[in-house]
Chain A
């Protein structure tokens, strides 16, 4: 305790020196807080953009469909299924879907589209699809009967490619589950821009009942998309869903390279469905290390030099302390304490500064438009434009200062060791 007091006093005796060192430490820590806050912001936004509209957090398919999607790899949508699933712990809502590839177009143009047959009410509950409406409206629960054209909502890219707008008519073709060719006349009722490039470029939303009829899949679906109550507890919810359905949690591997069976259900988390997103998440968090290394290395060199210089400057003082009976061990402790106090004070100061700036950016966001006049960019299939919001969580606030205190301790060791080893007599005489 006494060494802490002495350490503190030593630092206070040399105010300008201590404050310059504190300044360097504070800037590094503040910058780390800010960078971490933004990285978390990007990552959460990216995961949300990638999962929210298209996959939800957990999905159920047949094993065969999960391995290689085909129209006939469907399963029965029992009326009790949705009710049972909604009762599962952690499940917020469930949307049953038909998924098919097909051609959509008119006399002049056509394009390959990802057809999503959805229940309008359940899909809107499970995904933020209606937030993405750019023009028109979402599908109605009770569409007008035949021979009225079927309702369709297009991704904005599909609409642009086909040069169609609200009210225009389109024709759709695809191979039904029984090998026949399904086709129908559609009317565009809405256009969505979700920020998920896969959806925006190729998705075509239709009523579940219409697609089931066209694909010869009455009462069948290809996928269940589940929104979980708690984003972090995806794995537990997946396991609970799998237990409720008697499903597996991974795709079974067939020994002879054949496709897995269609009568087995598989429940998977978004991390399993989109491993690349999960990898990027891991990579980005690992890349924090590189940022720490570069920034803190510079800060560490700063602390190290200040400490060595100040130890050098005070060598006579230390010599006297040793001569009047201070043990090398205590001398060592005293100087390490000085470094620790510097690191902690600077770190706390930097955290306050960093949190203030990051908090501002978490509330008001950072306008990306000030860096570029090009609109926005995409990352892992998620569009980023406009404002990006930083996120302040415990790790973002605590980690930089803790790492800094550790760094300060490490770089304090060498000057402390040197000072503890001085020989009082020649040092006091100035003959070193």
Chain B
């Protein structure tokens, strides 16, 4: 009975109902979309951070990460790699040889960090092949001394595909060695950092060049779904003889604390932002509701005079509010979710605003595209909070309406 009356009441004041529903629905939808964008930025940062670090979990010879010293290498590489791969929660283990050195041509020399990689495994983290500007990628090359360089290095060294390039670097014994490579590919990403510094070769070629046969600098680990970097790091600790092999195992959070700091600060600002948006939404909704109920005090007085008890009026009003809230949340959710889908589908590329370089804590965010992500927990919280505000802001007027004597109520002028 109450519910049917309430439903009819809603449609008897069509304009008012529409205004109030749209107020709640729009505010709620905007709230959802801003949360979706914020959470997505956060998720992308985590991904870029792990990618920049070289994996979710990193394994090196003990002390390598702090010193980057060419003598700190994983000596019995195959045993360690097998042990890491067998650890629980490891999706892929990516072996790498990293060499700090100079590449030289007749035109000069440039400092690079040469990465000897296994392309089939590296692709799980990032695909260098898709940025290949000219030549062929490591997987297609038949040479045993292939070299892929960033476009800026190639330009500065005045190189052409097929040219000989000399790498000068220290081997693990501290001897300075020189090795010959042939330029087989050029990568151009538009990111200065990559174009000026990228040097890739195969793991075998890098090992041969700096006398590191059977040795590795780094094993980057990507964790499987459901596992966390911390749990995988612990599993690797247990599986590989960390002490005996002289290893260090670190999660990306331990490897790049400055990125973690940025993400945490960014999170704090996102949180403040959400609270402010919510406060503004709350003001708008509470206002509209209070107004709509106050306008009807006389109507309630009449109902009261006709024999509907105070409690009945309050119940009717609350029933109306609940119905309207459900309606508004349904419309708002549809709008907000569409907004989220649109944002996620098209996205706003940061690079499209004329930025080539956006370094934060060592990672480059210039190729970032702003999209949207649903965090179910947050969305449910937001929905509950909005429902609470709307129903809460109807409680006071409902109480007021039910406590007025009919004669008073019918003479009520705000």
Contacts and interface: CB of A to CB of B under 8 A. Distances in A.
Count class of interface residues, chain A = 35 or more
Contact of B265 (A24, A163, A372): A372
Given A298-B30, A309-B19, A378-B360, 6 more contacts: A112-B100, A276-B358, A280-B355, A294-B34, A294-B277, A372-B268
B286 A108 contact: no
| Interface of chain A, main secondary structure | helix
A70 B261 contact: no
Contacts of B31: 298
B27 A375 contact: no
| Interface of chain B, main secondary structure | helix
Contact of B284 (A70, A306, A313, A377): A306
Interface in B88-117: 100, 102, 108, 111
A310 interface: yes
Interface of B: 15-16, 19-20, 22-23, 26-27, 30-31, 34, 66-69, 100, 102, 108, 111, 156, 170, 174, 192, 257-262, 264-265, 267-268, 273, 276-277, 279-281, 283-284, 286-288, 290-292, 295, 350, 353-362, 414
A24 B292 contact: no
Contacts of B283: 20-21, 23-24, 27, 302
A28 to B, nearest CB: 5
Given A24-B284, A313-B295, A377 B259 contact: yes
A383 B360 CA distance: 10
A295 B280 contact: yes
B291 A378 contact: no
A295 B16 CA distance: 25
Given A301-B23, A301-B27, A374 B260 contact: yes
22 contacts: A13-B414, A24-B283, A27-B283, A68-B156, A101-B111, A108-B174, A109-B67, A279-B357, A280-B358, A283-B350, A283-B354, A283-B358, A298-B27, A298-B30, A302-B27, A309-B20, A312-B16, A368-B261, A372-B265, A374-B264, A380-B358, A385-B261
A310 B286 CA distance: 14
B291 to A, nearest CB: 5
Contacts of A381: 359
Nearest to B271: A371
Contact of A376 (B108, B261, B287, B359): B261
B268 A371 contact: yes
A305 B288 CA distance: 7
B169 to A, nearest CB: 11
Nearest to A415: B19
Nearest to A302: B284
Contacts of B361: 377-379
A380 B20 CA distance: 46
A308 interface: yes
Contact of A377 (B67, B281, B360): B360
Given A24-B284, A294-B34, A276 B290 contact: no
A400 B350 CA distance: 24
A282 interface: yes
A65 interface: no
B158 to A, nearest CB: 9
Contacts of A23: 283
A14 B290 CA distance: 12
A380 B286 contact: no
A181 interface: no
A306 B281 CA distance: 12
Contact of A375 (B257, B291, B350): B257
A301 B31 CA distance: 12
